[in-house]
């Protein structure tokens, strides 16, 4: 076998070309890994909102909290079902109303949707992971709101001690900022349930009921609620609910991103192919000499393929490395399920990084294949003639 | 009389230029005894390099039989010819043909990569070959750091490192000045006399041909 050092040194000899092609391939890997990280970030952000022992109760047929309408009398029936055990601590469940409002964006022209969650006493106690990190909790029955840290400052009036209009002539004051380990709650405004009902003329209804159910009791509870025709409701595990919420957006992002990366990859592969063709043309005599010395056509083909793959791997490592830096970037976009802005982070995983590098290897393999075949067909007599 | 290492009978080699066939070797018969040092001379286009290529297993004749080192080259596939060259032929080219990105010792080691020798054994052999050509102290130099004469000596080390049956040299002194050319010819002479290597050298230079034991002249595809 022709030593790998031969290929490695040839790559270092033509530094500029190697760098240019590696950067092109790296860009493709960067796009590929970044979109997968973003797609994963969306799933993780939504997934972080889920607790394993929480059931989400929605109106049958509703695919999101925003679409669901539950009348007040049903709340007691749902939370006092015989299959719902009393939790050791904290409230048995909570009922919330979710609406979307239009607010002025900060730092960008135009308006965008923000999710407002009407919460009752016990919402914070029901979600013990949520912490007030600035200011204080809003007082029940007041015009005070708390804001998730991801949405803080992204809209006009959404910062501590600022005010904004929940609805026309309904000013509310931000008295606290909360965090929840990067979950989608951090992209919400939390206001008093009755205030939201009154502001949006939704008296007597909520969007969603959350109940505390041990995983082993979930099936019994679900069967009990869903079989009650009077209620006409569906019960989902919270993780399952958020999976469905993130599915559309994350799949769209991943599909778009992969499509863009595949288009880019054609250009990058052509770049690698042209470079490798040039390398073969410039090294005719070397190839002929190797053939004369007794190296087979297969070993020449393999050697040039290895060189192309090494070039692609360099690009892959550069691209994957650069995509890791995206982990520090926060990204805000409309979630298709709630039609409101949610802040996401690019979430890398070893699988995504490995996938990016494998993608680069495949580009190197395809980009280098034809030049390598051409190299393997060089006649050894050329070495004697040149 | 030593047995023949090269036996060519009725060799014809024809190339096609457009529709017109060009006869480069025309019914040539040649025997080269084992251990000889022969020079092949002739004007440009006389077929010297083509003959050398046939003997070295780089090409096949259009007609005739070619047995080299006991192997019938005419019936061999491309893969078999590659193995034949790796085992039996040591090449010396006019332009040295060293791989510029490999050091002297790595260049010399190349033919040994086709053997089953361990890395240590390969290094030892390559070092020995460089010692024979007097370049052991330059083994870590790249070709660009060597003079033309030194490059050709590295190429000779590469040609002898796997102990080939025949060394074929195509104008080995063509790119060198007189002094460097003499050094190379001395080295070839030594390989022939001291190491009993069979050498077939194509040259235009009568001074170089004088150093060979036998000089054969080729003209219009036939030996004179």
Q: Per the domain annotation, does A90 fall within a domain? A: yes
Cβ contact, residue pair A289, B99, below 8 Å: yes
Contact between residue B91 and residue A292 where contact means Cβ atoms under 8 Å apart:
yes
Residue B52 contacts A, CB cutoff 8 Å: yes
pLDDT given at position A2? 85
CA dihedral A49, A55, A60, A66 (to 10 degrees): -30
What are the pLDDT digits (tens) for A31-67?
889 988 888 888 887 777 778 889 999 999 998 898 8
The structural domain count of chain A equals 2
Cβ contact, residue pair A384, B170, below 8 Å: yes
pLDDT given at position A252? 84
Question: What homologous superfamily is domain B35-58+88-223 in, according to CATH?
Answer: P-loop containing nucleotide triphosphate hydrolases (3.40.50.300)
**A224 contact partners, CB below 8 Å, separation of at least 6:** A81, A82, A83
Q: Per the domain annotation, does A239 fall within a domain? A: no
Cβ contact, residue pair A381, B53, below 8 Å: yes
Residue B91 contacts A, CB cutoff 8 Å: yes
Q: Per the domain annotation, does A309 fall within a domain? A: yes
Which of A204, A231, A258 is the endpoint of a domain?
A231
C-alpha span between A288 and A380 (Å, rounded):
4
Contact between residue A326 and residue A37 where contact means Cβ atoms under 8 Å apart:
yes
Cβ contact, residue pair A384, B95, below 8 Å: no
Cβ contact, residue pair A289, B97, below 8 Å: yes
A18 and A96 part of one domain: no
Contact between residue B180 and residue B147 where contact means Cβ atoms under 8 Å apart:
yes
Q: Per the domain annotation, does A81 fall within a domain? A: yes
pLDDT given at position A171? 93
Sheet hosting strand B166-170, strand order edge to edge: B89-92, B166-170, B198-202, B37-41, B214-219, B222-223
C-alpha span between B64 and B8 (Å, rounded):
7
What are the pLDDT digits (tens) for A70-93?
999 999 999 988 888 777 777 889
Instruction: State the first-to-last Cα distance of chain B, in angstroms, to the nearest integer.
Output: 22
Q: Nearest residue of A to residue B85 by CA position?
A: A294
Can you spell out the DSSP letters for A9-73?
HHHHHTHHHHHHHHHHHHHHHHHHHHHHHHHHHHHHHHHHT--TTEEEEEETT-SSGGG--EEHH
Q: What is the ipTM of this complex?
A: 0.93
Of B56, B84, B113, the CB nearest to A3: B113
Residues, chain A? 386
Residue B45 contacts A, CB cutoff 8 Å: no
pLDDT at A135 over 80: yes
Which of A231, A258, A286 is the endpoint of a domain?
A231
- Tokens of residue B143, six digits: 């070709």
- Mutation test of the interface with chain A: which of B47, B71, B89, B113, choosing the one with the most A Cβ atoms within 10 A? B113
What are the pLDDT digits (tens) for B87-115?
999 999 988 999 999 999 999 999 999 99
Q: Per the domain annotation, does A257 fall within a domain? A: yes
A99 and A207 part of one domain: yes
Name the average pLDDT for chain A.
Answer: 88
A318 and A274 part of one domain: yes
What are the pLDDT digits (tens) for B167-201?
999 999 988 888 889 999 999 999 999 889 999 99
Give the structural domain span for A77. Answer: 61-231
Per-residue pLDDT band at A386 (split at 50, 70, 90): low
A123 and A182 part of one domain: yes
C-alpha span between A96 and A206 (Å, rounded):
5
């Amino acid at each position: 076998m022709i030593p790998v050092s031969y290929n490695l040194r040839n790559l270092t000899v033509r530094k500029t070309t190697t760098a240019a092609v590696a950067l092109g391939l790296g860009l493709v890997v960067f796009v590929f890994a970044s979109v997968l990280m973003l797609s994963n970030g969306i799933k993780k952000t939504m997934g972080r909102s889920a607790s394993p022992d929480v059931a989400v109760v929605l109106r049958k047929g509703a695919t999101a909290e925003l679409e669901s309408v539950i009348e007040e009398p049903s709340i007691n029936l749902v939370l006092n079902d015989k299959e719902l055990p009393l939790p050791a601590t904290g409230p048995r469940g909570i009922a919330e109303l979710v609406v979307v409002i239009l607010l002025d964006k900060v730092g960008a022209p135009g308006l965008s949707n923000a999710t407002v969650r009407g919460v009752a006493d016990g919402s914070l106690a029901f979600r013990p992971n949520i912490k007030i990190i600035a200011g204080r909790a809003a007082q029940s029955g007041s015009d005070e709101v708390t804001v998730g840290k991801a949405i803080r400052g992204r809209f006009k009036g959404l910062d501590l001690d600022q005010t904004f209009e929940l609805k026309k002539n309904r000013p509310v004051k931000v008295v606290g900022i909360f965090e929840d380990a990067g979950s989608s709650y951090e992209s919400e405004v939390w206001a008093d349930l009755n205030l939201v009902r009154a502001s949006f003329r939704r008296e007597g209804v909520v969007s969603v009921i959350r109940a505390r159910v041990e995983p082993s009791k979930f099936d019994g509870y679900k069967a009990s609620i869903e079989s009650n025709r009077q209620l006409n409701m569906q019960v989902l595990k919270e993780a399952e609910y958020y999976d469905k919420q993130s599915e559309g957006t994350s799949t769209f992002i991943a599909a778009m991103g992969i499509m863009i990366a595949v288009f880019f990859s054609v250009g990058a592969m052509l770049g690698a192919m042209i470079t490798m063709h040039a390398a073969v043309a410039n090294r005719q005599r070397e190839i002929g000499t190797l053939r004369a010395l007794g190296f087979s056509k297969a070993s020449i083909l393999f050697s040039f393929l290895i060189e192309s793959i090494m070039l692609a791997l360099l690009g892959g490592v550069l691209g994957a490395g650069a995509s890791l830096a995206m982990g520090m970037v926060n990204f805000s976009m409309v979630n298709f399920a709630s039609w409101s802005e949610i802040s996401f982070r690019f979430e890398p995983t070893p699988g995504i990084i490995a996938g990016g590098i494998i993608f680069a290897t495949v580009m190197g393999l395809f980009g280098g294949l034809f030049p390598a075949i051409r190299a393997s067909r060089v006649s050894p007599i050329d070495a004697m003639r040149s | 009389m030593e047995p023949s290492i090269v036996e060519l009978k009725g060799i014809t080699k024809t190339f096609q230029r457009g529709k017109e066939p060009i006869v480069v070797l025309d019914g040539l018969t040649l025997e080269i005894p084992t251990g000889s040092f022969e020079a092949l001379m002739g004007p440009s286009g006389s077929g010297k390099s083509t003959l050398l290529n046939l003997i070295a297993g780089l090409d096949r004749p259009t007609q005739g039989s070619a047995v080299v080192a006991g192997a019938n080259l005419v019936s061999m596939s491309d893969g078999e010819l590659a193995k034949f060259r790796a085992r039996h032929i040591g090449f010396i080219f006019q332009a040295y043909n060293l791989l510029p990105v490999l050091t002297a010792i790595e260049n010399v080691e190349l033919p040994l990569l086709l053997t089953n020798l361990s890395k240590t054994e390969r290094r030892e052999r390559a070092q020995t070959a460089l010692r024979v050509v007097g370049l052991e102290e330059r083994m870590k130099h790249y070709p660009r750091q060597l003079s033309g004469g030194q490059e050709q000596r590295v190429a000779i080390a590469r040609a002898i490192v796997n102990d080939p049956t025949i060394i074929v040299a195509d104008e080995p002194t063509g790119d060198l000045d007189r002094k460097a050319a003499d050094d190379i010819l001395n080295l070839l002479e030594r390989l022939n006399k001291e190491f009993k290597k069979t050498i077939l050298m194509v040259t235009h230079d009568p001074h170089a041909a004088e150093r060979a034991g036998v000089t054969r002249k080729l003209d219009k595809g036939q030996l004179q």
